[in-house]
A = this chain, B = another copy of it.
Amino acid sequence: MERLPKYIHRSQGTLWLTEDDRDNLKLSYRIKDVLFEETSPYQHVMVLDSWDFGPMLVLDGVVQTTSRDGYVYNEMITHVPMSLHPSPKRVLIIGGGDCGAAREVAKYAEAEQIDLVEIDEAVVRACKRYLPEVAGRDADPRIRIHYTDGVKYVQEKRNHYDVIIVDSSDPVGPAEQLFELEFYQQLYEALKDGGLMVCQSESPIHYPDVMARTYERIGKVFPYREIYTAVVPTYPGGLWSFTIGSKRELFPEGIRFNKPARYANEAILKASFHLPTFMNEMLSK
């Protein structure tokens, strides 16, 4: 019998990845080829070449980013916090092993130090090799990659960073701790005066409880918080939320932005803070 990687099946002569993280809704992607497969100490890591989205990073069977639409997520998790801080010199990215957020941060001349803390070296290796559209082709000397646990890394930092970007996978498996109240408290301590953090806070459609809980927890730790959205085509439901916790007052209407980008522009960054009524209602409960 043919040996196929985990999560992959063959149907009518072609390969398919079927995401099985949801019980009642399944997305299946037609696959040309398996470019990378490895079971790391943390998770099952693949890069699959798909027909509709090109090469895709797949962790434990769930699509994380694709060469075709990865820029949406990476631009939006990066340029919103970077634009809200007047002088983001030291930036920390937790997770973000696809290197896409680091690549966006590197567009800021004022960023002097960019620390990327990814627990799984296999993810970085796979993305640099097979997802250059996301990871970038050129190394930036300001980016330092630390292969360690983000939670432990943050515990050792005090009053150090201007911006922290928590670019995690879903709150199951290795990323679970990154959604805990204690972790947000550590982020607060690791930030300098006036610093701010952002995290992806899941789908308002499919995981409204995770979104609302994240927003609530961040509000317990930080004096200022905001939630904004972007549309990520390969995430279920499309609509995705991001939550900011800040030591300084936030003025989204005052955002200025002029970096080259494919999704983000100044109007989109400002508009991303205008929420549908159902989201406003969820968050005011």
Contacts and interface: CB of A to CB of B under 8 A. Distances in A.
Contacts of A26: 16, 27-28
A233 interface: yes
Contacts of A51: 23-24
Interface string A5-25: 000000000001000001111
Interface stretch (A100-108, A120-128, A272-280): A272-280
One complex includes copies of this chain to the number of 2
Contacts of A265: 274, 276-277, 280
A283 interface: no
Given A238-B239, A263-B276, A264-B277, A23 B30 contact: yes
Interface of A: 16, 22-30, 50-52, 69, 72, 205-206, 229, 231-233, 235-239, 261-265, 267-268, 270-271, 274-278, 280
28 contacts: A22-B52, A24-B52, A25-B27, A25-B30, A26-B28, A27-B27, A27-B28, A28-B28, A69-B205, A231-B231, A231-B239, A233-B236, A233-B238, A233-B239, A235-B238, A238-B238, A262-B276, A262-B277, A262-B278, A264-B277, A265-B274, A265-B276, A267-B275, A268-B275, A268-B276, A268-B277, A271-B271, A271-B274
Given A25-B29, A270-B274, 5 more contacts: A23-B30, A232-B238, A265-B274, A267-B275, A268-B276
